[in-house]
Amino acid sequence: MSEFLPDLGIVTQIIVVVAAFSVLIFVHELGHYLAARLTGVRVERFFIGFDIFGLAIKKEYRGTVYGIGILPLGGYCALAGQNDDPRKERQTDAPDELQNKPLWARALVFGGGVIMNFVFGFLVLIAAYMYGIPFIPPVLGQLDPSGPAAIYGFQTGDRVLSVDGRRVTSFEEAAEAIALAGAGGELDVDIERTGPDGNREQMTIRVRGRASNMRGNLNSIGADPERSRIVAGVVDDPLFGELLVGKLGVGDEILAVDGVEIPLNRGEMIEELVAGRPGQTAELTVRGRDGQIRTFQAPLETFGEWDLGLRIAIQTVRVTPGGPAAQAELRAGDLVVAYQLPGDAEPSRFASTREFLSVVASAALHPITIDLNRRGDVLTVTATPEVAAVDALYDIEADTLLGVTGTMEGEQGFLIASVLPGSPLAGTAQPGDYIEKLNGEPLPAGKSIREAVEDAASVAVRLFVKRDDPEGEILVAGHREVPDANLTLRLSPRVSTEYRRPMIGVENTAGPITTVVPGSFADTVLGGSERLAGSRLAVLQYSPDLGTTTLRFLFPEGSPYGGGLKTFVVETPEEIRRDPAAAGLASRLPVMLRTAEEVIPMSFVPAVAAAGRKWVDLSLMVYRVLHKLVVRTLPLDAVGGPIQLFRIIKIADDRGFAYFLYILALISVNLGVCNLLPFPVLDGGHLVFLLLEWLMGRPPPLAVRETAQWIGLVCLLFLMLTVTGYDLLHLFRGTG
């Protein structure tokens, strides 16, 4: 919470945000005021805040009315002879009116606010660097195993040096540069890595990002920053709260786990040390906020799901256009209740979404026979396609699942140009060989070698689907091997070039329970199919000692248990308690850790140099973002409005005084740059009119200025309403 005010919750946050906005507005209007005084233009009114109902505090001094309005979200500097509406401009022969001043003087007055925003931002940046801005080092922490960073060969501990040639000094800068590439954009990332011998080496990895699930679906590579060993929060659960009260809290520092020391910025080690111990405790050595060091046993939170005997439907949330699922005519909202692989005697139902993903993966990349033509001699070999191991010097997009690159040569087949070491055809195929046939069939015309290999190596899965179709438009005749399915679809998984694993092109979630295995835990303890079918398992939670399991089901109206949520607290079976890891359970410490941060205060001269570099970068950032918006690399909902600014300032205040100054400088510079945009209602628009007056030798016609003002005003209002609407949308969705 705020370093400047007592913690009053949302009241404090609002006060801090309003104060920050008021300072920025005052600085901008002060720029116009000082420029007017310097050029001899009379200032009629100088207000911070809006004068609502005449309740502002006012004072006239030397012909200028100064005031503080009761609505502190704006301000203005009214100059003699100026009016934003060209029809209402009043001009006399008075020498102190704005319109009677020379062009250079009017340009200085209109640009004064922008100049002051730039100067203020630069000075505040110097102060922030001297105080010591907390920044997140550009070092990769935990990687999403299926994310681009892991797939393209990044490792935990890699330090990012630059992104597409742009030098980065913090994780925020690296993430920002990656985001601006647009969802799915390719980037060259320069990293520094510690090798096995302890030496540091530098390398460049070209990576294709993917859309994140946060605001604007911005580009991401699936890497988090390093975590510190400082506690940011404790799981909000009475089971753990009572056991940890007085022992572990926000701001405490975990020094060791079971005697193993945790380095300052290696909080990930804590997760590694406790991962395989569900139902147990861990000995923590903690330095509290009071500086005292204490050691105690902390409970571990168990997570995961063992086979309860429930068989569920997989509900498709979204179907990717053009993917195998879409081609098989699977639709959003369908319930996949069972599957059948070639060779299976009968269909099988799903125990979890994890099993669904496993089935999809197992249906792709089976062994195939390959006919190689080597200067007239035909060699027949067997190989299993695979997702290629990543090499920093290898073009991952050229991978064909056989680890070869080359070109399609029509009826001759695929001409191999190179073979990736360690790939399926390494040691067998050579550059100059032709791949003629796969599984005895010539390569299909019009397809890439990758598509041909996928066709040859994938098997068709039968999915048994329940579709509620009141209009009776089911296109494929139903098969009755599964009683509650009215549709059977066949599809072959494809290896996603983005996620590098077999997929069918759907987003899915666990759907309703369709049946219960006879004699299972769910049958004997929870009531079996008659009571559970049609419900959804909403919560699965374990007590710290694994003695009990809490299950919460959402029942439909009319079920034997009645509609709504019902909670069961049951004894965990002995075989699960005896070997929880074998049952698929894992553990973690019930805390959240702060992101690793570094604070390096600077002396005056280095602070000025650092502030200058950052000032230039911030000034250009607005134009980089605008360019990305125009070329549609970034969607409009990536831009934040007033609610997003509120959130940013609030987060900055939480991270300390220096970071608050940094964000204040960032917004000040952005405000200055945005005011230079050539919208007629902004300072930049006024400067454009002055430029036209200089070029034409006279002011533009009144009709032109009036039309431009209205167009600019409508565009600006539309933009403000749009970004505010997106703000509200992301607020309700929780996407940042």
Phi-psi region of 427 (alpha: psi -120 to 50; beta: other; left: phi over 0): left
**Is residue 475 pLDDT above 50, yes or no?**
no
Q: Distance (Å, rounded) from C-alpha 254 to C-alpha 232?
A: 11
Q: What are phi and psi of 196, to 5 degrees?
A: -60, -30
**Is residue 723 pLDDT above 80, yes or no?**
no
**Is residue 8 pLDDT above 50, yes or no?**
no
Residue 735 confidence (pLDDT): 58
Sole residue written with tokens 């406790």: 274
HEC profile of 342-407? CCCCCCEEECCHHHHHHHHHHCCCCCEEEEEEECCEEEEEEECCCCCCCCCCCCHHHCCCCCEEEE
Residue 1 confidence (pLDDT): 42
Sign of the CA dihedral running 89, 68, 3, 639: negative
Which amino acid, residue 18? V
- The answer to whether 431 touches 416, Cβ cutoff 8 Å, is yes
The predicted-structure confidence for 118-129, as pLDDT tens digits, reads as follows 999 999 999 999
Residue 162 confidence (pLDDT): 94
pLDDT > 70: what percent of the chain?
A: 90
Sole residue written with tokens 């003002």: 709
pTM for the whole structure: 0.71
- The answer to whether 518 touches 532, Cβ cutoff 8 Å, is no
Q: b/e per residue, 275-296, with b = 16+ CB within 10 A?
A: eebbbbbbebbbbeeeeeeeee
Q: Distance (Å, rounded) from C-alpha 527 to C-alpha 499?
A: 40
pLDDT > 90: what percent of the chain?
A: 35
- The answer to whether 508 touches 467, Cβ cutoff 8 Å, is no
Which one has a higher pLDDT value, 516 or 8? 516
State the average pLDDT over residues 438-463: 90
The predicted-structure confidence for 534-578, as pLDDT tens digits, reads as follows 999 999 999 999 999 999 999 998 888 888 999 999 999 999 999
3-state secondary structure of 99: helix
Q: Distance (Å, rounded) from C-alpha 153 to C-alpha 389?
A: 8
**Is residue 224 pLDDT above 80, yes or no?**
yes
**Per the structure block, which two tokens stand in for 391?**
């090499």
- The answer to whether 257 touches 276, Cβ cutoff 8 Å, is no
- The answer to whether 505 touches 325, Cβ cutoff 8 Å, is yes
CB atoms within 10 A of CB 736: 15
Closest CA to 20 of 618, 735, 642: 642
State the average pLDDT over residues 522-538: 92
**Is residue 273 pLDDT above 60, yes or no?**
yes
Which amino acid, residue 456? A
Q: Distance (Å, rounded) from C-alpha 610 to C-alpha 40?
A: 36
State the average pLDDT over residues 599-611: 92
Q: What are phi and psi of 498, to 5 degrees?
A: -85, -50
**Per the structure block, which two tokens stand in for 252?**
């405490």
The predicted-structure confidence for 373-423, as pLDDT tens digits, reads as follows 999 899 999 999 987 655 545 555 556 788 888 888 888 899 999 888 888
- Nearby residues of 322 by Cβ (< 8 Å), 6 or more positions away: 505
Residue 396 confidence (pLDDT): 52
HEC profile of 158-215? CEEEEECCEECCCHHHHHHHHHCCCCCCEEEEEEEEECCCCCEEEEEEEEECEECCCH
DSSP H or E segment with residue 476: none
Q: Distance (Å, rounded) from C-alpha 220 to C-alpha 208?
A: 9
Using CB atoms within 10 Å of the CB of residue 571, give its burial: 0 to 12 exposed, 13 to 18 middle, 19+ buried: exposed
Sole residue written with tokens 């002011």: 699
The predicted-structure confidence for 279-308, as pLDDT tens digits, reads as follows 999 999 999 988 999 999 999 999 998 999
Q: How far is CA 52 from CA 16, 22, 58, in A?
A: 22, 16, 12
**Is residue 367 pLDDT above 90, yes or no?**
yes
The CA-to-CA distance between both ends of the chain, in Å, stands at 19
- Nearby residues of 615 by Cβ (< 8 Å), 6 or more positions away: 118, 121, 122, 125, 665, 669
The predicted-structure confidence for 9-29, as pLDDT tens digits, reads as follows 567 667 777 788 888 888 998
Q: Distance (Å, rounded) from C-alpha 138 to C-alpha 172?
A: 8
Which amino acid, residue 647? R
Q: Distance (Å, rounded) from C-alpha 339 to C-alpha 465?
A: 9
**Is residue 598 pLDDT above 50, yes or no?**
yes
The predicted-structure confidence for 167-207, as pLDDT tens digits, reads as follows 998 998 999 888 888 777 888 999 999 888 888 899 998 88
**Per the structure block, which two tokens stand in for 235?**
């799981």
State the average pLDDT over residues 487-504: 83
The predicted-structure confidence for 39-94, as pLDDT tens digits, reads as follows 998 888 888 877 777 777 888 888 888 888 777 766 778 888 776 555 555 566 77
Strand partners, 569: 550
**Is residue 5 pLDDT above 60, yes or no?**
no
The predicted-structure confidence for 82-112, as pLDDT tens digits, reads as follows 765 555 555 667 788 888 889 899 899 999 9
DSSP H or E segment with residue 253: strand 253-257
Q: How big is the chain, counted in residues?
A: 736
Give the active site residues.
Answer: 29
Distance, CA of 414 to chain centre: 39
Question: What confidence tier does 471 reach under pLDDT thresholds 50, 70, 90?
Answer: low
- The answer to whether 298 touches 564, Cβ cutoff 8 Å, is no
- Name which of 240-249, 621-630, 636-645 the model is least confident about: 636-645
**Per the structure block, which two tokens stand in for 66?**
């100064």
Longest dimension (CA), the chain: 101
Strand partners, 570: 549
Sole residue written with tokens 């997760």: 271
Using CB atoms within 10 Å of the CB of residue 396, give its burial: 0 to 12 exposed, 13 to 18 middle, 19+ buried: buried
- Nearby residues of 61 by Cβ (< 8 Å), 6 or more positions away: none
Q: Distance (Å, rounded) from C-alpha 677 to C-alpha 670?
A: 11
Give me the chain's average pLDDT, please.
85
3-state secondary structure of 508: strand
Question: What confidence tier does 315 reach under pLDDT thresholds 50, 70, 90?
Answer: very high
In 572-612, the DSSP E strands lie at 586-588, 591-595, 598-599
State the average pLDDT over residues 481-507: 84
State the average pLDDT over residues 242-252: 84
Sole residue written with tokens 């600077």: 602
